[in-house]
A and B are shown apart, each in its own frame.
Chain A
Amino acid sequence: MEKQATREAYGKALAELGKQHANVVVLDADLSKSTKTADFAKAFPDRFINAGIAEQNMIGMSAGLAASGKVVYASSFAIFATGRAFEQVRNSLAYARLNVKVCATHSGITVGEDGGSHQSVEDIALMRAIPNMCVVVPSDGVTTQKAVFDLYDREGPAYLRLGRPSVPIIYKDDIDFAIGKGIELRDGNDATLIACGIMVSKCMEAAEKLAQEGIQVSVVDMHTIKPLDEDLIIKKAVQTGAILTIEEHNVLGGLGGAVCEVVCEKCPVPVHRMGINDVFGQSGKPDELLQHYGLTIENIIQNIHDLLKIKTKS
């Protein structure tokens, strides 16, 4: 299976976007080799600004550039872009409704060896709670590339959550991707797996194994956390009667929380949330960490079994 880190796809897409649009400006905070904005910097040195290790000012400068007509892509690690500079993102970008795309790499625990200080488990929740923000968590390189281009056309602030490790390519280049529209990857009536980011491909593998046991689940790639595809969630709740959410993020406030908000209000069915269980991460290899925190195919299968028991009772 072909693999690519979403940050790699981001770097390539950004350089391509720069070719097409002269008003694209990219900022980074001394991590351009890691976030892959270095590709853009090499191609368009006059439109790349290294803010140095100063994320708050990076976001503030992004606001000024956007207020002057630029479309800005600002990158750092997720923990710094959304944490260190949270209030700048809130007040300078979102409150002012500016055309700045905060594109953060190294999200979640798969940052790996750098440890818990550098593993953002709360960034989706932070960004989702800000009015005017759009939040996108692509699952592979293809949809990352499409998101980079779609966000250019979508006026206003956005958060694009990207990862460090290589992950399977799920889609072909002609996939019909649209921000705000979840992708139905697989159809089944017993339950629905709703995932984002690197957990989507694991859900596809889990669904395959469940099918071998005779359990047919739907799989949805909910790449856009905000605006959330409520219609699709309701449709799947009604069709399957049980939902499992899976994300590489705290179970509080992220995809799982967002799905529960919709399901509770509009179509109550049992929901289980898989994610980081409100703890900080630690050092380790990405795969070891996913195993340690239970973000595995086996655990998805186990959760579906548990969920189906509840579903039968109700």
Chain B
Amino acid sequence: MKEINEQSINKVNEKALVMRQDIIKMLGESGSGHTGGSLSAADIVSCLYFWEMNIDPLQPEWEERDRFVLSKGHAAPVLYAVLAEKGYFPREELLGLRKLGSPLQGHPDMRKLPGVEASTGSLGQGISWAVGMALAAKMDQKDQRVYALLGDGEIEEGMVWEAMMAAAHYNLDNLVAFVDHNGLQIDGPITDVLSPEPVADKLRAFGWETLVIDGHNTEEIMASLDTARATKGKPTAILANTVKGKGCSFMENKAEWHGTAPNKDQVQQALNELTSA
């Protein structure tokens, strides 16, 4: 059983800090990309890769592995940061983000980079992949688990709710979907653009075990994953309240940091702030 203790929490937090630093560095280098939503998801993704998931970076194609699908594919930098930190590919490659010929595409491409489980980026599609993967595991009577991370703007896509219906209908208790609930999308607050609220009520109504947590509190993330593992007969949704741009004061809770990369000075300022977990 996975332990929730000071040591495991500290490890996840330390890795999340390194990931945030890498996110800033690679976006500063690329000059474009999605900063805010990568930073808001860092603690969840760190917890999955450094505590929860049964994976082996030396065998990225290992059949029994757990799967992570970044349904909000524009947060590719957080995925690349964690994969590099896990050792799926050399860290130097992070600086190739969005450059011609780099395996680090603007949105994740499973055919170009080891460890990427799904080619995502067109919103709403990743959760359907995750449902398919969870179905495959059930068909093969394997214990593997599937994790998806969605944006709270992403769930405005209709197909997300098709997938939610299917996951509950097929009793996929091996599936966990995080919703990175930072409240902002490109054009502004989600409640102004097209409100998906009340999100938790909707998820419950669609048949999911639904938990609401602080998405930056590692202990809460761990506890929610424990609950998900103990939940039988239905999938688990974890509505994680987060802060867009988390960790960089001048980015936090600002919609304009959805699809903007930091300039040189901003990189320095951000790295100065990202010094301790």
Interface residues of A (CB under 8 A from B): 25, 46-47, 49, 51-52, 54, 56-57, 59-70, 87-88, 91-92, 95-97
Contact = CB atoms under 8 A, between A and B. Distances in A.
Given A63-B118, A91-B119, A91-B121, A70 B136 contact: yes
A68 B131 contact: no
Contacts of B271: none
B53 interface: no
A96 to B, nearest CB: 4
A68 B140 CA distance: 10
B128 A65 contact: no
Nearest to A95: B119
B136 A65 contact: yes
B51 to A, nearest CB: 23
Given A49-B170, A63-B129, A91-B121, 13 more contacts: A25-B136, A51-B166, A56-B159, A57-B128, A57-B162, A61-B128, A61-B131, A64-B134, A67-B118, A68-B132, A68-B133, A88-B128, A96-B111
Contacts of A49: 135, 170
19 contacts: A49-B135, A49-B170, A52-B169, A54-B165, A57-B131, A60-B132, A61-B129, A61-B131, A63-B118, A63-B129, A63-B132, A64-B69, A64-B134, A64-B136, A65-B132, A68-B133, A68-B136, A70-B139, A91-B121
B165 A67 contact: no
* Chain A binding surface, main DSSP class: helix
Given A54-B165, A57-B163, A60-B163, A69 B119 contact: no
A98 to B, nearest CB: 9
Given A51-B166, A60-B163, A88-B159, A69 B63 contact: yes
Given A52-B166, A87-B122, A92-B119, A60 B127 contact: yes
A196 to B, nearest CB: 30
Interface in B85-106: none
B219 interface: no
Interface of B: 63, 67, 69, 109-111, 117-119, 121-122, 124-137, 139-140, 158-159, 162-163, 165-166, 169-170
A65 B111 CA distance: 16
A64 B131 contact: yes
A70 B136 CA distance: 8
Given A91-B122, A96-B111, A62 B162 contact: no
A247 to B, nearest CB: 30
Given A64-B130, A64-B133, A69-B63, A92 B166 contact: no
B177 to A, nearest CB: 13
A127 B117 CA distance: 25
Nearest to B159: A56
Contact of B137 (A62, A66, A68): A68
A273 B158 CA distance: 39
Given A57-B163, A68-B136, A68-B137, A63 B128 contact: yes
A264 to B, nearest CB: 32
Contacts of A57: 128, 131, 159, 162-163, 165-166
Nearest to A46: B139
Dominant secondary structure at the B interface: helix
A23 to B, nearest CB: 9
A107 B140 CA distance: 34
B6 to A, nearest CB: 36
Contact of A64 (B109, B129, B140): B129
Contact of B166 (A61, A63, A69): A61
Contact of B128 (A52, A59, A70, A97): A59
A63 B137 contact: no
- Residue from B109, B111, B140, B166 having most chain A Cβ neighbours under 10 A: B166
A62 B119 contact: no
Contacts of B129: 60-61, 63-64, 67, 92
Nearest to B126: A60
A69 B128 contact: no
B1 to A, nearest CB: 26
B118 A96 contact: yes
A88 B163 CA distance: 13
A46 B170 CA distance: 12
Nearest to A70: B136
Nearest to B137: A68
B135 A64 contact: yes
Contact of A54 (B119, B121, B126, B162): B162
Given A91-B121, A97-B111, A52 B165 contact: yes
Contacts of A25: 136, 139
A88 B125 contact: yes
Contacts of B121: 91
B117 to A, nearest CB: 7
